[in-house]
Amino acid sequence: MSHKDRKIILICQCLVNPYCRVHILGQNFPLSHELMNFLMERRVGIIQYPCPETTAMGLRRNPQGRQQYDNIFFRDHCKELLKIPLLMVKEFIRNKYRLLAFIGLQNSPTCGIRWGKHKVNRHQTESPMPVDNPSPEDPVLKGIMAEIIGEEFEKEGIEVPFLEFPAKSTPESPERKKFWEDLEAAIFNRNLDAEK
């Protein structure tokens, strides 16, 4: 591997520290360990930002949907948390490092990439549980933080794939296999069909 192809990646904090995850997503240390090994073995530098849910609401927060986080205060909080990680990304790019991708977390209302239709509770607010039979017509949004990262990257002219870590899938699942293939493709600069 040449020194010319120096690589960095931006990831959400719970991929390194699963304790940040709200309890229903599970604190999957083996999966984080697998991801860190995968990146380290391929000499990929990791930039992470503090978990916006933990820093806004603490560790004892209730599981919520995207709807509850979609407010001006939380969005402002996300932008604040991203300031230094984004400066780091820009500084690395300026020094000829290649940003590979952003990795978010599946079914996270803040850091997920594909947030589809979710069940609502008796108060008609969105729950963290996806509907059982989603329709192809249902809107699919990015989580709040992932959306803001997309906006910030666009301002800077940064184009990279947004990958979603399939934390709830089994090691043999097609979702997990596709994630590793997409990440490998980003690392070795092959064309990706992952969502930008």
Q: Is 140 helix (H, G, I), strand (E, B) or coil?
A: coil
DSSP 63: P
Q: Is residue 21 very low, low, confident or very high in pLDDT (cuts 50, 70, 90)?
A: confident
Three-state secondary-structure class, residue 8: strand
- Between the CA of residue 87 and those of 24, 39, 49, 175, what are the distances in Å? 32, 21, 11, 32
Q: Evaluate whether 187 touches 100 at the Cβ level (below 8 Å).
A: yes
Please give the model's pTM, rounded to 2 decimal places: 0.90
**pLDDT single digits (tens) 58-108:** 998 988 999 999 999 999 999 999 999 999 999 999 999 999 999 999 999
